[in-house]
């Protein structure tokens, strides 16, 4: 779980990839009314940055999912032996933004054709995955995967799996793009996510709206 390109190009930056409540929820949205989605798409810094700030999204947290170890740390996941993937938990108001809309944002924030990680980050912990929490999410995720394969004309590497526990990452990872803006921007430019997204998706690419 190392970012070798980042480390080589930018020695001053942190070579690692607790969310604050977002302001995208509709007025009066309660926790009971909110739903949750889990997405792995490579570096969770960049995935957080892509989801935050959108209307209907209540909260975005970075963490780990898909593995068997309880309460994994970044150092544990970094060994690539725990089975976890860097994951974002998206809490959303389904009356304002649908799960299907989140899927659309997710696909176009990732490279679904890359099986060895995402962009410059390689390893199983960076593999893209949609973790479904109920049958409705499962059906929507599988349907959207077929649509993306048809659109791109190639097999999609993204996993669609039943969700297990989501383990919140260390606090310094949460809202990293805000807390360490210079480091995040340096990493993001070196890793080339936005550039590659434009090549794959064109105007459909999901870019950040959070400030």
The total of structural domains in the chain comes to: 1
Side-chain-side CA neighbours of 207 within 13 Å: the count stands at 14
Let me know if residue 210 belongs to a domain: no
Side-chain-side CA neighbours of 170 within 13 Å: the count stands at 10
Let me know if residue 149 belongs to a domain: yes
Let me know if residue 72 belongs to a domain: yes
What is the span of the domain harbouring residue 22? 4-204
Let me know if residue 209 belongs to a domain: no
Higher pLDDT, 201 or 26: 201
How confident is the model at residue 33, as a pLDDT? 84
How many residues are recorded in the chain?
211
Query: What number of other Cβ atoms are within 10 A of residue 48's Cβ?
Result: 25
Active-site amino acid positions? 43
Q: Is the pLDDT of residue 7 over 50?
A: no
Let me know if residue 147 belongs to a domain: yes
Let me know if residue 128 belongs to a domain: yes
- CATH number of 108's domain: 3.30.1060.10
Q: What is the pTM of this model?
A: 0.87
How confident is the model at residue 32, as a pLDDT? 62
Let me know if residue 91 belongs to a domain: yes
Let me know if residue 50 belongs to a domain: yes
Residue 88: φ, ψ to 5°: -110, 140
How confident is the model at residue 29, as a pLDDT? 52
Residue 161: φ, ψ to 5°: -135, 155
- The C-alpha atoms of residue 85 and residue 97 are separated, in whole angstroms, by 25
């Amino acid at each position: 779980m190392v970012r070798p390109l980042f480390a080589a190009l930018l020695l001053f930056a942190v070579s690692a990839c607790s969310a604050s409540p977002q302001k995208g929820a509709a007025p009066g949205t309660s926790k009971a009314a909110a739903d949750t989605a889990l997405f792995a798409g490579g570096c969770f810094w960049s995935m957080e940055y892509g989801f935050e700030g959108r209307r209907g999204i209540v909260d975005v947290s970075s963490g780990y999912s898909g593995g068997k170890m309880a309460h994994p740390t970044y150092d544990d996941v970094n060994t690539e032996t725990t089975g976890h993937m860097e994951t974002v938990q998206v809490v959303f108001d389904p009356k304002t933004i649908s799960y299907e809309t989140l899927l659309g944002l997710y696909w176009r924030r990732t490279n679904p054709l890359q099986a060895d990680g995402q962009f410059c980050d390689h390893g199983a912990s960076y593999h893209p995955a949609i973790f479904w929490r109920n049958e409705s999410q499962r059906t929507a995720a599988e349907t959207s995967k077929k649509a993306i394969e048809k659109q791109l004309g190639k097999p999609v590497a993204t996993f669609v799996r039943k969700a297990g526990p989501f383990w919140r990452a260390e606090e310094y990872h949460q809202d990293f793009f805000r807390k360490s803006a210079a480091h995040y921007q340096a990493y993001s430019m070196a890793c080339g996510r936005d550039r590659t997204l434009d090549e794959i998706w064109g105007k459909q690419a999901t870019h950040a709206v959070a400030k």
